[in-house]
Amino acid sequence: MPEFTYYLSIGSNIENRISRIRSCLPFLSDCGFELKDVSGVYETRPLNDLSSYPFLNLCVKAKSSLEPQSALLILKRIERIFGRHDTYTKRRRHSERPLDIDLVLSEEVEVKTDRVILPHPDFNNRSFVVFPLYEILDRKSHYFDLVSQSYLRFKLKDPLGIKMFLRKDLFW
């Protein structure tokens, strides 16, 4: 059975943001994701919607025997457990979310289907993914140069105003 290394982005911007994010980690472990590393927590303004609450985001490195399609289905189930429903995404893109979990990268496979695209097509254009990912991405990863370049670009200018909310050693 193959094993995959996944990098996940997890975020929330509705009440008890840090509690929701922290509480979802055991669900990941129980559902076949062996957590290997967790970044610090970052806060940003939401994409394309300055009127809603700020997001908290982090990234997780996890090992799993789940194929990408199965992994995505499980992540969407966990989102629903934490109160995310299709009405959130159907109302408008980038709206408030109790919990948002994205499959960002896999070291072993690239996928492009109707449901799963790996690597995530916009991951390097989102500071809320790049900053936490930069913390935990293996420096030998073939994605490291791209992430490093994006990190430096966002250090110079970030439209979402990213800031550290909780250091890794205080969160995990």
Domain spans, the chain: 4-171
d(CA 45, CA 61): 24
Collapse the DSSP code of 72 into the 3-class scheme (helix H, G, I; strand E, B; otherwise coil) and give the result. Answer: helix
Say what the pLDDT of residue 60 is. Answer: 98
Q: What is the pLDDT along the chain (172 residues), one digit of tens a residue?
A: 789 999 999 999 988 999 999 999 999 999 999 999 999 999 998 876 655 789 999 999 999 999 999 999 999 999 999 988 765 445 555 567 889 999 999 999 999 999 899 999 989 999 999 999 999 999 999 999 999 999 999 999 988 899 999 999 998 7
Say what the pLDDT of residue 2 is. Answer: 83
Neighbours of 61 (CB within 10 A): 22
For domain 4-171, give the CATH number: 3.30.70.560
Q: Which two tokens stand for residue 104?
A: 């960002």
Neighbours of 73 (CB within 10 A): 13
Question: For 39, what's the count of Cα atoms within 13 Å in the CB-facing half-sphere?
Answer: 27
Collapse the DSSP code of 11 into the 3-class scheme (helix H, G, I; strand E, B; otherwise coil) and give the result. Answer: strand
